[in-house]
Structure 1
Amino acid sequence: MNRTVIYEKFGGPEVLEIRDTPEPHPQAGQVRVRVTAVGLNPMDWIFSSMPQMAQQFGITLPSGFGTDFAGTIDETGPDVTAFTIGDRVYGGAVGRAATDHLIVDPTGTDTLEHTPAGLTDDTACTLPVAGATAAAALAAIDLRAGDTVLIGGAAGGVGVFAVQLARAAGARVIGTAAPSTFDFLRDLGAEPVPYGPGLADRVRALAPDGLTAATDLHGTETAEAALALGVAPQRISTIAAGPNPPGGVRATGGANALPGDLKRIAEAVAAGDLTVPIEARFPIEKIQDAVRTQAERHTHGKIIVTL
């Protein structure tokens, strides 16, 4: 049995189906992963509901679902030297992760890393997209010790990494979020501020000496507030404003993460230096419920699908 989440038309969570598909086998340079956990990201349901976005990433119908995964290699193809059967791994395979047996090509566009000792699959599967995106967002603004940085969407899946990485770098962190998540953000080391109209004024009151950097992990509101507060455009980044964000600020994403960023984050989580809050776990049979929860965008932490 090889359970696979598939959708044959674009739409809401109701288009996702679980099919029993033939077991795949790796070819040269590929490995097969017995997936045990899939970490959901907003991009997953955006792809399955928005044809234009899916097309940009080469996704066509029918399609698999999910990107981030963790599990154990149970089969290898010829010419594989960096991984062996029995290795615990995690990584990313865009539009294909939610399946019992996943073919991964670590020399191609897929991501595959060894899972550090002490890191569970449930936690490892949360790292690839969110961890790499957070690292790229902060690298784009050259974040450093002594900065006062505004992070938009600080309680989201990317935000929880960005907050902690910024704090570890020695920055003061102000994070936009819903009031219901304020205690959660304070526990991560951020000073919370409500998003919405008047954001620049609220941030000015909280940081009268000004901001030095900002990253917008949700849209453009935080970037626009930072510009209004006098932050230089080259010290503001966005991940969800498209290729031409407002005011000349820097657009970036997980693909721009530096080599080694993901491994560094995973090792920090395994060592207990970074925390990965998990909001909820769903079995694969409840994939539609998992995606509904993810799409509400009111969670603080990651949504996990277990197989």
Structure 2
Amino acid sequence: MAKIVVFNEYGGPEVLHLVDVPDPEAGTGQVRIRVKAAGVQPFDCATRRGDFAAYNPLTFPVRLGNEVAGIVDQVGAGVTGFADGDEVIAYLDMQGYADTVVVPADQVGHKPAKMPWAEAGVLTASGQTAYTALDELRVGAQDTLLVHAAAGGVGSFAVQLAKARGAQVVGTASERNHDYLRSLGAVPVTYGPGLADRVRAAVPQGITCALDAIGGEALDVSLELLGSPERIVTIADWARSAQLGIRRIGTERSARKLDDLTRLWSEGKLVVEVAETVPLSRAAEAHRLVETGHVRGKVALVVD
């Protein structure tokens, strides 16, 4: 039997619970993965709370989780490039909180041998979201990028991916995370009242683009600094971004992006920050941690 986390109603973290289900079987073009670690995202928490219920109601029971790492133990017909025992990373939709998953083989990549399981499990969702945002902004060596919530999951990936493209990066964070941002190559600034002036002081030449991962005031500050919404994107605030004409982006995921992320990690150009590891059976605790809004990097669910 496989173990999965589900919820049967919208609510707080306590609605999450572990259940046993029959082992899934890999079909044509799929692989089955025994999960070692899975990432927890703010999106998962918002889904559980019912934040999207008005326009995207769910049919219960509902599963969560869009990123996993584990070991292949069954290969479906027509699959090449993977074999039993391979250590892999995968992206998937709403089923990652589990000890066993079945995933299309074209959504799976090989895990670098030295990458810890927890880091592998939290790599692909936030990593690919950041990658998509930088592509949307066309970030290159000529740019100075402002990242709001730069110490968080998406933000910390965005800082490093932008640096890998040759851009200069300014990142907003609380004082306690400034040294961390410096270690990633960003110029840190404290968020809150007066942010626009602090950004101007940090980079007198000005910014050329902005990625918002927190919403609210960050969008107004970005617009003030850039003068137009053309090179601003957000992953966080649907209502305010619509009012300001700022694009809200999702994640365009691909095996190519996943391979790029693992390559950068192997080259020492990408650090994956895991704030906390929590057993799969305590998924509610993981959600409580994420919902504090003070997590540096990512929270991982782990399977013994």
Q: Which amino acid in 2 is paired with 1:273? A: K
CA drift of 1:55 comes to 6.2
CA deviations on 1:79-120 (whole Å, 9 max, x unpaired) are 22343222221112222111111111245xxx3222233223
Structure 1 segments unaligned to the other structure (5+ residues): none
CA drift of 1:53 comes to 5.0
CA deviations on 1:154-185 (whole Å, 9 max, x unpaired) are 01000111011112222221111122211211
Determine the structure 2 residue equivalent to 1:60. 59
In 2: Cα distance, 1:184 partner to 1:254 partner: 25
Q: Is 1:78 the counterpart of 2:77 in the alignment?
A: yes
Q: Is 1:87 the counterpart of 2:86 in the alignment?
A: yes
Q: Which amino acid in 2 is paired with 1:79? A: G
Determine the structure 1 residue equivalent to 2:49. 49
Residues 1:84 and 1:163: Cα distance change in structure 2 (over 3 Å): same
Determine the structure 1 residue equivalent to 2:277. 281
CA drift of 1:5 comes to 0.8
User: Secondary structure of the residue that 1:197 maps to in structure 2?
Assistant: coil
Residues 1:31 and 1:59: Cα distance change in structure 2 (over 3 Å): farther
Structure 2 matches for 1:96-107, cutoff 5 A?
96-106=95-105
With the length of structure 2 as denominator, give the TM-score of the two structures: 0.92
TM-align CA RMSD = 2.1
Structure 2 segments unaligned to the other structure (5+ residues): none
8 Å Cα contact 2:109/2:255 also seen in 1: no
Structure 1 runs, 4 residues or longer, greater than 6 Å off: none
Residues 1:8 and 1:51: Cα distance change in structure 2 (over 3 Å): farther
CA drift of 1:51 comes to 5.5
With the length of structure 1 as denominator, give the TM-score of the two structures: 0.91
8 Å Cα contact 2:79/2:105 also seen in 1: no
Determine the structure 2 residue equivalent to 1:34. 34
Q: Is 1:251 the counterpart of 2:252 in the alignment?
A: no
User: Secondary structure of the residue that 1:281 maps to in structure 2?
Assistant: strand
In 2: Cα distance, 1:53 partner to 1:41 partner: 18
Q: Which amino acid in 2 is paired with 1:254? A: T
Q: Is 1:158 the counterpart of 2:154 in the alignment?
A: yes
- Give identity over the alignment, percent: 39
Residues 1:54 and 1:284: Cα distance change in structure 2 (over 3 Å): farther
8 Å Cα contact 1:214/1:222 also seen in 2: no
Which of 170, 179, 193 aligns to 1:197? It is 193
Determine the structure 1 residue equivalent to 2:204. 208
8 Å Cα contact 2:38/2:67 also seen in 1: yes
Determine the structure 1 residue equivalent to 2:296. 300
